[in-house]
Amino acid sequence: MANPNLIGGGRLTRQEVSGDRRGARQAQLPKGVLLKRLWKYLGRNRLLLILAITLSLTSSILSLYGPKLSGKAINAIDTESGFVDMPVVIRCVITMAICYLFSSVLSYLLNFVTIRMSRGIAKQMRHDIFENMSRLPVRFFDGYQTGDLISTVTYDVDTVNQSLSTDLLQILNSIVTVSVSLGMMLSIAPRLVLIFLVTIPVTVFFTKWLTGVVRPLFRKRSAKLGQLNGFVEEMLSGQKTIRAYGREKEVVDRFDEKNQAAVDAYTVAEANGTITGPSVNCINNFSLALVCMFGSLMFLGGKIGLGDLSSFVMYSRKFSGPINEVANIIAELQSAFAATERIFYLIDAEPEKEDAPDAETLTQVKGDVQLQHVDFSYDPGKPIIKDFSLHAKPGSLTAIVGPTGAGKTTIINLLMRFYDVDNGAVLVDGKDIRGLKRDSLRRAYTMVLQDTWLFHGTIFENVAYGHPDATLEDVIRVCKAAHIHSYISRLPQGYDTVLTDNGSSISKGQKQLLTIARAMLLDAHMLILDEATSNVDTRTEEQIQQAMWKLMEGKTCFVIAHRLSTIRSADHILVMRDGQVVEQGNHAELMAADGFYRQLYQAQFDAVS
């Protein structure tokens, strides 16, 4: 479940992403495993599945009874005397019409049932994917482009859904048609059936071989399409920057490269996949030629009647037809298998570890935070923090400073338990956070991040996101404190104004003020500010400083700061450089030490001067 106290949006730096996860989506599952797991989804719709099988069986039997009746009608004609037994012919024709009519009606119902069943499965798959994604650790999402993940939730699920609604229907019909046709042919002329003992094995072995060739191609096609979607999502979200730097041509060129790669992968996969149908059709036509040749010899020898031969030929076509259809959908099935792999990868992705069975709920938070001899690394062998200790007393202000990429966010990730320490411990009110329930720990914090996040909804809903019971008066109060109320009041719909596309219609500063107001509405005892005023101008920043200090009163605060002038009164300052804590102390102590902090401070002072 999303943490309501996560006010802004943020992500780890690229250096903080573990490289061994980027190839994980190439994991391959055996076809048998995929079918077994898909069958579990089908099993959730047992009634519809049983109804579909019943309808398919009945419809196919009715349609397959036609050739038998056709043979009887032909046998009612005496080829020597020319006598026609019209009552038999009429009876056969009427029966055939009734059978085909009911078969058509049942086929329509079968289509309806199958579509409904496949839609239900697609809905369940999307639910399972999204539910598991909501439980995945922070580091997972930094290994993949957003568009690639979206492609799985939309395109890949639709591919599987299409396969279930069409291919499954064809396979059901094919099984029944082949079985009944074989039975009919055996009842008419068992000797002629021996022909298929040669052609069917050839078809099976050829199809199996081609399947092994085609499946990796469709897996590559899905991957290339996911990469294309990821690139498009990334470029569309950065349109202003692209235009500001005049990089439109370069972006279009890169898009053309990725688009061409996707087209090439699609073309190769489809071209190889479509070989199956014509090849199997050729084998089936060869078997039909053999049936006609040997059947004619049997007719001339008086071993089979003309009507029976006609029925056998029709049944042989119905017997071979489904095999050809199945061969034609082999390509679609391989595409569906490739999509299914990507779906199950997201469903199977390991979520955050469950809370310990004896985990406590953090209540009556005082805000006493300690880091005791903490060691931590994102990647084994590349330590970020070594033997680091810190004690933030209740109501104290701890600032974390350093150049960009120094690893300041790492401390926050450990406090929120987005990552667990390798050695040492993080304590809140004297309790190791690994023994606390994550939800209660994260609700004890309020975060305002540099990267703002607003969802599609009204301004009121966005501000009250972490406090569903908040009244309009509560929202107005915090918006006034954040100096955003006057702007909202000037909007035509006021607090009912709908924000779309992450608030793209308002400025970054206004979005930041809304997230600050959102934080003010919460009653958390610990506060994390990740350069929360970086997107507002100096005058606005000065206006909201008092409100921010009021927000911080009585709370244990951790502030990631770039403007060092704003944290001079901090109780404790951590100075980070190249992923290491190089200095710590208060402002006066660090200035007196004449170290890296003093260099940073004087550099900013000189820049302002």
pLDDT tens by residue, 5-16: 333 333 333 333
Core vs surface per residue 107-131: b (16+ CB within 10 A) or e: beebeebbeebbebbbeebbeebee
User: What integer pLDDT is reported at residue 251 of this predicted model?
Assistant: 80
Contacts of 146 (CB under 8 A, 6+ apart): 230, 233, 234
Mean pLDDT of 373-391: 82
pLDDT tens by residue, 537-584: 666 666 656 667 767 777 898 888 777 766 788 888 988 887 677 888
Give the closest residue to 420 by CA, choosing from 10, 139, 19, 142. Answer: 139
Residue 578 has which token pair?
Answer: 């190249």
Q: Which amino acid is at 403?
A: P
Structural fold of domain 33-348 = ABC transporter transmembrane region fold (1.20.1560)
CA-atom Rg of the chain in angstroms: 35
pLDDT tens by residue, 61-85: 887 777 777 777 777 766 566 666 7
Q: Which CATH number is correct for 358-444+526-532+555-609, 3.40.50.300, 3.40.50.2020, 2.160.10.10, 3.90.70.10?
A: 3.40.50.300
Quick check: helix, strand or coil at residue 432? strand
* Domain coordinates in residue numbering, the chain: 33-348, 358-444+526-532+555-609
Give the closest residue to 59 by CA, choosing from 111, 112, 107, 94. Answer: 107
Quick check: helix, strand or coil at residue 53? helix
Give the ranges where 134-238 is alpha helix by DSSP (H). Answer: 138-141, 146-151, 157-162, 168-188, 190-193, 196-237
User: What integer pLDDT is reported at residue 426 of this predicted model?
Assistant: 93
CA 48-53-56 angle, 5° bins: 120
Spatial contact of 24 and 345, defined as CB atoms under 8 Å apart: yes
pTM of the model: 0.64
Sheet holding 423-428, edge to edge: 382-392, 369-379, 423-428, 431-432
Contacts of 69 (CB under 8 A, 6+ apart): 92, 93, 95, 96, 99
Query: How far apart are alpha carbons 524 and 513 in whole angstroms?
Result: 18
Query: How far apart are alpha carbons 562 and 577 in whole angstroms?
Result: 13
* 258 phi/psi in degrees, rounded to 5: -70, -35
User: What integer pLDDT is reported at residue 424 of this predicted model?
Assistant: 92
> Does 362 or 215 have the greater pLDDT score?
362
pLDDT tens by residue, 315-352: 777 777 676 666 666 666 777 888 888 888 888 888 87
Spatial contact of 321 and 64, defined as CB atoms under 8 Å apart: no
User: What integer pLDDT is reported at residue 142 of this predicted model?
Assistant: 66
Mean pLDDT of 480-495: 87
Least confident of 182-186, 528-532, 588-592: 528-532
User: What integer pLDDT is reported at residue 432 of this predicted model?
Assistant: 92
Contacts of 472 (CB under 8 A, 6+ apart): 460, 495
What share of the chain has pLDDT > 90, as a percent?
4
Query: How far apart are alpha carbons 149 and 137 in whole angstroms?
Result: 15
Query: How far apart are alpha carbons 595 and 482 in whole angstroms?
Result: 36
CA dihedral 395, 396, 402, 404 (to 10 degrees): 0
Give the closest residue to 185 by CA, choosing from 309, 322, 86, 301. Answer: 309
CA dihedral 389, 391, 396, 397 (to 10 degrees): 0
Spatial contact of 316 and 64, defined as CB atoms under 8 Å apart: no
Mean pLDDT, rounded, of the chain: 78
**Residue with tokens 């920057």, as numbered in its chain:** 241
Spatial contact of 462 and 497, defined as CB atoms under 8 Å apart: no
Spatial contact of 569 and 397, defined as CB atoms under 8 Å apart: yes
Query: How far apart are alpha carbons 284 and 233 in whole angstroms?
Result: 47
Query: How far apart are alpha carbons 183 and 325 in whole angstroms?
Result: 20
**Helix or strand holding residue 572 (H, E):** strand 572-577
User: What integer pLDDT is reported at residue 328 of this predicted model?
Assistant: 63
Mean pLDDT of 435-450: 85
The conformation of residue 192, written as its DSSP 8-state character, comes to H
Residue 559 Cα to chain centre, angstroms: 34
